Amino acid sequence: MKLSSRISGIKPSPTLAITMKANALRAEGRDVIGFGAGEPDFDTPLHIKMAAIKAIEGGFTKYTPVGGTDELKDAIIRKLQKDNRLNYSRSEIVVSCGAKHTLYNLAQVLFEEGDEVIIPSPYWVSYPDIVVLAGAQPVVVETKETDGFKLQPEQLEGAINKRTKAVILNSPSNPTGAAYSRTELEILAEVIGRKGIFVISDDIYEKIIYDDFPFCNIASISEEMKKMTVVVNGVSKAYAMTGWRIGYAAGPSEVISAVTMIQSQSTSNPSSISQKAAVEALVGDQDVVTEMVEEFRKRRNCIVEKLGAIPGITCMNPAGAFYVFPNVSLLFGRSWRGKTISNSSDLTEYLLEEANVAVVPGGEFGCDHHIRLSYATSMKNIEEGLQRIRDAVVKLD
């Protein structure tokens, strides 16, 4: 059967592919430690699950308004006021089936053929493909490790032309864990305001941030920036709710009503039950988040220290999210059994074959000198896995 040309320009999510490959090896009996996971390893907190059970028992099991219930929109509005000092009304909020779905729908309503969208690299794997699916052109701007993997104002300005429609910012970042300070965002906002482009601010890791780093998003810089920004967030990462599929956008009402229209002709509302659970996540006990973040912080410290002690590997200390993105380029050119390791995929393959450890090659995020390890796994796995990586790296010729 001949498929549409739309589908030929995109590829399946590589992080899901790595997880599947590791699972397949495990099924063959190999003891593989996985650092590929893009989701918290914690269970969804009990009070959130109970809210869903109550929704089912109470018969809250029918269609809801396409863009989400008023109850959930109000919970999101209060969250944005409290955490981000941003004021929105219900017509400026839409709830979707996960933040990825929010981003997809936003691209569909904002971008078209002839538009360019700036994506700083290393980037989350889905951004370029979501832009391509909307018919637009992703313009990847490489950030430097020496700049902490953060987009510099002159880089941004240099990438903007008449066709530029928007820039996608993600702080804290997947895969680097880098987070922008308020001052850094103010400087970027000056360029964005002057050039008149849109910002999609993917704040999904807002709550997973360490050492009291003050989270900031660019919409809160000024009233002008708020008008040019769509804030994207969700409950997947902060509340260990990846399977529930609830994400949302806050932004100008004409954008939000367009997203709602797309949903009305595609998915309709996100699950009614998940919406009830998301309300409980947002308004209920927040200590569960603090506890998960504290555990992530311990693991981050452990993994950064152990990676840094491996000869040939250097690792930046991430400000947030649950990934480390070590530089492994000093290992390129080394070999094992006559096979030379010349890029991040070769190293990933070597680690899987020789060390039974699954990581994600940095090339997938547009940054081939690095690999990504998720520390959304137990401390025991981190200790054992890092020992295996060390042993494998040391024996390279």
Ligand X SMILES: *Cc1c(COP(=O)(O)O)cnc(C)c1O
- Residues of this chain that bind ligand X (CB under 6 A): 38, 98-100, 124, 170, 174, 202, 204, 234, 236-237, 242, 247
Rounded CA-CA distance 68/338 in Å is: 57
Tell me the residue length of the chain.
397
Element (H, E) at 362: none
Q: Which is nearer to ligand X, 100 or 369 (CB)?
A: 100
Closest approach of ligand X to the CB of residue 365, in Å = 10
Rounded CA-CA distance 179/150 in Å is: 8
What single letter denotes the amino acid at residue 48? I
Q: Which is nearer to ligand X, 88 or 127 (CB)?
A: 127
Q: Which of 99, 32, 38 is nearest to 375 (CA)?
A: 38
Rounded CA-CA distance 39/169 in Å is: 20
Q: Which is nearer to ligand X, 177 or 234 (CB)?
A: 234
What 3-state DSSP class applies to 136? coil
**Structure tokens belonging to residue 284:** 């209920």
Closest approach of ligand X to the CB of residue 296, in Å = 14
Quick count: other Cβ atoms within 10 Å of Cβ 283?
15
Closest approach of ligand X to the CB of residue 13, in Å = 10
Closest approach of ligand X to the CB of residue 247, in Å = 4
Rounded CA-CA distance 137/115 in Å is: 6
Q: Which is nearer to ligand X, 236 or 329 (CB)?
A: 236
Closest approach of ligand X to the CB of residue 328, in Å = 21
Rounded CA-CA distance 173/120 in Å is: 10
Q: Which is nearer to ligand X, 99 or 230 (CB)?
A: 99
Q: Which is nearer to ligand X, 278 or 331 (CB)?
A: 278
Closest approach of ligand X to the CB of residue 241, in Å = 8
- Chain residue whose CB lies nearest ligand X: 98
- Is residue 106 within 8 Å of residue 230, measured between CB atoms? yes
What single letter denotes the amino acid at residue 267? T
Rounded CA-CA distance 279/36 in Å is: 29
Q: Which is nearer to ligand X, 174 or 344 (CB)?
A: 174
Q: Which is nearer to ligand X, 111 or 127 (CB)?
A: 127
What 3-state DSSP class applies to 32? coil
User: Long-range contacts made by residues 7-14, C-beta under 8 angstroms, separation at least 24?
Assistant: 9/129, 9/132, 9/133, 10/129, 10/132, 10/133, 11/129, 13/125, 13/126, 14/125, 14/360, 14/361, 14/364
Closest approach of ligand X to the CB of residue 113, in Å = 25
Closest approach of ligand X to the CB of residue 258, in Å = 20
Q: Which is nearer to ligand X, 20 or 394 (CB)?
A: 20
Closest approach of ligand X to the CB of residue 32, in Å = 22
CA angle 175, 230, 281 (to 5 degrees): 70
